[in-house]
Amino acid sequence: MAKQLMKGNEAIAEAAIKAGCRHFFGYPITPQNELPQYMSRRMPQVDGVFLQAESEVSAINMVYGAAGAGARVMTSSSSPGISLKQEGISYLAGSQLPCVIVNIIRGGPGLGGIQPAQSDYFQATRGGGHGDYRVIVYGPASVQEMVDLTMEAFDVADRYRNPVMILGDGVLGQMMEPVEFHYKPAEGLPAKDWATTGAAGRDPNVINSLSLVAEHLEEHNWRLQDKYKEATEKEQRWELYNCDDAELVLVAYGTTSRIVKSAVNQLREQGIKAGLLRPISLFPFPEKAFAQLPSSVKNFLAVEMSAGQMVDDVRLTVNGATPVHFYGRTAGVIPGPAEIIKKAKEVAGGEK
């Protein structure tokens, strides 16, 4: 299939359809509206279901229902809407139901603004709702990567029987880049023999997150933790750029990583040995990438469109072995290469 020019929001929607998603439940909010809009136009063409729910709480519980019945299902929203969905996400994780959730982040807190941000990193990577659970989170940096990771997200959700989140921001959702779609279903995915598909000829399946005996619930929790451990071992994803001889490694994901890449190129032209470590999976955080870095690295600089959230994972990973610095703009302001370069020079100069 030839390339098309698509917005990130549309590309996620088409990728979901290509990956076999035929159920979408959502509620509008800027800056992700093109996603449900596209779904409303495409789902009828592929005999799928598009439903605009009366609220985000309704939408996520419709996702629970469709996932419980064994369907590939998606919902999307932006920051305040994702907060409303947290109760449902906790229930999905507790009931071990696969689904794909898209958060195209806008500035917060509260109703915030409508410009791009990365300030929902904590919410996404720490679980977000109540209880001991995690959501597998991907942070794409281009429209093509939004396509590829969305398709993969459905497979990963089915493999781990767990919600998977695509974490984007307003720029990625809105900007247009050439994309192509190549979906090859993953092999060896487990059969959905737990789904409530009608109990004729077998014992009924029950989907529930309630467990009133503490010891039973603890046992269930350890099973969930085992899944997160397996995901941490197998699902880490990252990109290293110009890191082979780097003395300063900038760490950034999503839109910010594209701007940081511009900054790294300019720093290199000015003789500063800078590189970029770009986490692609945000949970699990790509700790393995740090182990691959050369011993020449003297400083890390995390750059985010937040007041400093992913930088905590960088600090936990580096564990005091190397200084970790931070530069961020928040609330919808996008950092430019010049200010990142200025901070990078401060950090690199501080070593002398």
Partner 1 sequence: MEEAIVVVGDYGSGKTEFSINLALHLSQNHQVILADLDIVNPYFRSREAVKTLEAQGVEVIFSREWGQADLPALSPRTDSALREDKVLILDVGGDDGSIVLGRYRKQLSQRQAGIWQVVNCMRPFTADVEGIMDTASRLEHKSGLAVSALVNNTNLGRETTAELVLEGAKIVDAAAARLDVPVLWHCARPALLDQLDARLDNLLPMEVSLFPADIT
CA–CA gap between residue 309 and residue 229 (Å, rounded): 22
Q: Is 262 one of the binding residues for partner 1 (CB under 8 A)?
A: yes
Q: Is 242 one of the binding residues for partner 1 (CB under 8 A)?
A: no
Q: Which range of residues in 2-10, 79-87, 230-238, 323-331 is near partner 1 by CB under 8 A?
A: 2-10
E-strand stretches of the chain: 4-7, 23-26, 49-52, 73-77, 99-105, 136-138, 163-169, 176-179, 238-241, 248-251, 274-279, 281-283, 299-304, 324-328
Give the nearer residue to partner 1 in terms of CB position, either 175 or 195.
175
DSSP state of 44: G
Site for partner 1 in 35-54 (CB under 8 A): 37-38, 41
Residue 328 tokens, joined: 């961020």
Residue type, 48: G
Site for partner 1 in 158-177 (CB under 8 A): 170-171, 174-177
Give the nearer residue to partner 1 in terms of CB position, either 136 or 263.
263
Q: Which range of residues in 17-25, 95-103, 261-269, 308-316 is near partner 1 by CB under 8 A?
A: 261-269
Give the nearer residue to partner 1 in terms of CB position, either 195 or 331.
331
Minimum Å distance from CB 230 to partner 1? 35
Helices (H) and strands (E) in the chain, counts: 13, 14
The DSSP string of 251-316 is: E--HHHHHHHHHHHHHHHHTT--EEEEEESEEES--HHHHHTS-TT--EEEEEESSSSSHHHHHHH
Minimum Å distance from CB 33 to partner 1? 8
Q: Is 4 one of the binding residues for partner 1 (CB under 8 A)?
A: yes
Helix 214-234 with 143-160: angle, nearest 10 deg: 140
Minimum Å distance from CB 258 to partner 1? 4
Q: Are 305 and 321 in contact (CB under 8 A)?
A: no
Q: Are 79 and 103 in contact (CB under 8 A)?
A: yes
Q: Is 258 one of the binding residues for partner 1 (CB under 8 A)?
A: yes
The residue from 7, 72, 161, 227 that contacts partner 1 (CB under 8 A) is 7
Closest by CA to 76, choosing from 95, 96, 50, 94, is: 50
| Number of residues lying near partner 1 (CB under 8 A) | 33
Q: Binding marks (x or -) toward partner 1, 98..127, rule CB under 8 A?
A: ---------------xxx------------
The residue from 49, 194, 337, 345 that contacts partner 1 (CB under 8 A) is 337
Q: Is 14 one of the binding residues for partner 1 (CB under 8 A)?
A: yes
Q: Which range of residues in 26-34, 128-136, 298-306, 308-316 is near partner 1 by CB under 8 A?
A: 26-34
The DSSP string of 215-234 is: HHHHHHHHHHHHHHHHHHHH
Query: Roughly how many angstroms between the first and final C-alpha of the chain, as a whole number?
Result: 53
The residue from 17, 26, 27, 34 that contacts partner 1 (CB under 8 A) is 34
Residues in contact with partner 1 by the rule CB under 8 A: 3-7, 10, 14, 30-31, 33-34, 37-38, 41, 113-115, 170-171, 174-178, 255, 258-259, 261-262, 265, 334, 336-337
